[in-house]
Amino acid sequence: MFQNGTDEGFVNPEQIGYVGFANLPNQVHRKSVKKGFEFTLLVVGESGLGKSTLVNSLFLADLYPERHIPSASEKITQTVKIDASTVEIEERGVKLRLTVVDTPGFGDSLNSEDCFTPIIEYIDEQFERYLHDESGLNRRHIIDNRVHCCFYFINPSSHGLKPLDISFMKAVHHKVNIVPVLAKADTLTKKEVLNLKRKEAVPFAVVGSSESFEVNGKKVRGRRYPWGVVEVENPDHCDFIKLRTMLM
C-alpha cells in the first residue's frame, strides 16, 4: 500500500544508485567454471632437455606416452613433427582441457635451417580454424585449439642463445607468447645461471621431476644426487614455482 508517495513494504537491499552490472564478473566467473577452460601449450626445444618431464611436473599428470627416441644416425635426416595430445584435468571443481603440442625433431638435424616452418604452419592453421568456427552460425560448441603459450627450451650447455634460437623466437613472437626456459638448471652452478640470465634475459631456470624423496621429514619432488636433493618446488633451487605461477 502506498502512503505519501512511498512504498513502506519494499526495502531495497542495495545502495541507492545500484544498477546491478557490478555483479557481471561473478556471473562470468560462474559460467566459465561450469564450462571449463581450454589451454594449449606449445613445447619447443632440442631432444634431451627434459621437456616432457617439466610439463608432467607442472600439471602433475603423465601427458606423454612411450615414445621412440631417435638415434644419432636418425637425427641426421629427421624432420620436425607436430604431436598434439589432449587431457582433461580437474582441480577443486575447475576443469581444464589441456593440449600439449610437442615438436620432436626440432634442432636435432645437422641442417636446422627453416626447421620451424611446420610449427609456424600449425600455429596459423589453428588461428584460421578458430576464425572459421567463430564465423559460423553455431558457435556453442567451439573448441579453442589456438596456441596460448610457447615454452622454448634453451640448452644449458650452449652457454647462450644459438642462431636457431634467435631465428625461431623472431619468427614466432608476434603469433604466440614465448617463455624462454633454461632447461636442466641443476647442471649449472648458481653463478652460471645468474650469468646466463643477465646475458640472455632468460627469466626461468627450471628443473623437472616426477619422483619424490624425503627431505627433513617432508616429501618433496626433485632429483637425487650423491651430494643431496634438488627440490623442484624450492625457490632457492630453481624457478619452477615462478614459472607455474606465471603460467596459471
Domains and CATH numbers, the chain: 19-184 (3.40.50.300)
Residue 48 φ then ψ, to 5°: 85, 15
> How large a percentage of the chain has pLDDT more than 70?
77
The pTM score is 0.76
Q: Which string of b and e fits 216-247 if b means at least 16 CB within 10 Å?
A: eeeebbbbeeeeebbbbebeebbbbeebbeeb
- Element housing 121 (H / E): helix 117-134
Averaged confidence pLDDT in the chain = 79
| Whether the predicted pLDDT of 43 surpasses 90 | yes
The whole-angstrom separation of Cα 106 and Cα 171 is 15
| Whether the predicted pLDDT of 107 surpasses 90 | no
Give the pLDDT of residue 65. Answer: 60
| Whether the predicted pLDDT of 224 surpasses 70 | yes
| Whether the predicted pLDDT of 1 surpasses 60 | no
Q: Apex CA 72: angle with CA 68 and CA 78, to 5°?
A: 65
| Whether the predicted pLDDT of 24 surpasses 70 | no
Give the pLDDT of residue 81. Answer: 86
| Whether the predicted pLDDT of 232 surpasses 50 | yes
- On the 0-12 / 13-18 / 19+ scale of CB atoms within 10 A, 215 is middle
The whole-angstrom separation of Cα 54 and Cα 225 is 18
| Whether the predicted pLDDT of 222 surpasses 60 | yes
Cell of 214: 624425503
Give the pLDDT of residue 2. Answer: 46
Residue 233 φ then ψ, to 5°: -100, 20
Mean pLDDT of 12-35: 61
